[in-house]
Amino acid sequence: MTETARLLLLSNSALHGSGYLDHAEGEICDFLAGVRQVLFVPYALREHDVYFSKVAGRLMSMGFDVSSVHHAPDSQAAVESAEAIFIGGGNTFRLLKALYGQNLLQPIRRRVEEGWLRYMGVSAGANVACPTIRTTNDMPIVEPPSLRALGLVSFQINPHYADPDLNSPLMSETRDERLLQYLEENETPVVALREGAMLRVERGRVTLKGIAGARIFRRSESPRELSPGSQLRL
């Protein structure tokens, strides 16, 4: 993670009882202040045009022009000229496979790290900002060439984190157990984001934003709670 990289990584795109990106509108507008055009990446879902229409309408209501990488005659050139990129949620494996197939990982990584491209990712889009996608919740419906992703941050993210319900009669394997199993084989710490939580990366600092907390999972340590407004020190 460089001092010039700027990222906004959201656990989810909607909360129960509210519309698409409603809970994050203020943070998005602040993060994208000064940006005119946002390049959308719809590859995590199958119906690219439908997805783009939904996102474009919502971001336009916030005052931004939106184009989609799947409409561009040259997707790499579109990334090279973009001011900001928004990678939407869906299936992380499908998304990463498409990013490899379009040879977009390197140009996105370089332009974000150099500070020319602001990066916003939701759910799967947050997952691919990490070193790998090993902490996604998604099924591997396709097989990307590698699980290695953009590596824009030095930690893993687990979006849509759900606390164990110890009173549930149907309780089986919990998210905590899965993340602890990940740490048995991997050393990279995990930031588990509850619904409504997001991470803002600016000037080399990572701050928890939104209306919900997060849990930090590290090997050989008990999970640690983090409240909105706190800075991550990983």
Domains identified in the chain and CATH numbers: 7-226 (3.40.50.880)
Q: Tell me: pLDDT of 211 over 70.
A: yes
pLDDT in tens, 121-130: 999 999 999 9
- Where b means 16+ CB within 10 Å and e means fewer, 17-49 reads eeeebebbbebbeebbeebeebbbbbbbbeebe
Tokens standing for residue 145: 């060439």
168 pLDDT above the threshold of 70 = no
When pLDDT is cut at 50, 70 and 90, the band that residue 163 belongs to is confident
Token pair recorded at residue 161: 């984190």
The mean predicted confidence, pLDDT, of the chain is 95
Catalytic residue among 138, 172, 176, 220: 138
- According to the model, what pLDDT value does residue 59 have? 97
What is the pLDDT at residue 173?
A: 80
Kindly name the residue from 53, 70, 160, 230 that is annotated as catalytic.
160
d(CA 169, CA 68): 45
| pLDDT the model gives residue 114 | 96
Is-catalytic flag, 123?
yes
pLDDT digits (tens, 9 = 90+) for 17-66: 889 999 999 999 999 999 999 999 999 999 999 999 999 999 999 999 99
165 is catalytic: no
pLDDT band at 96 (very low <50, low <70, confident <90, very high): very high
Out of 39-53, 143-157, 165-179, which region has the weakest mean confidence (pLDDT)?
165-179
Looking at residue 234, its pLDDT comes to 75
pLDDT at 213 exceeding the cut of 70? yes
The pLDDT value given to residue 186: 98
Inform me whether the pLDDT recorded for 2 exceeds 90: no
Between CA 143 and CA 159 the distance in angstroms is: 20
Q: Which one of 11, 13, 75, 123 is the catalytic residue?
A: 123
**Average pLDDT for 165-180:** 78
Q: What pLDDT is recorded for position 108? A: 98
- Reported confidence tier of residue 16, pLDDT bands at 50, 70, 90: confident
The pLDDT assigned to 172 comes to 67
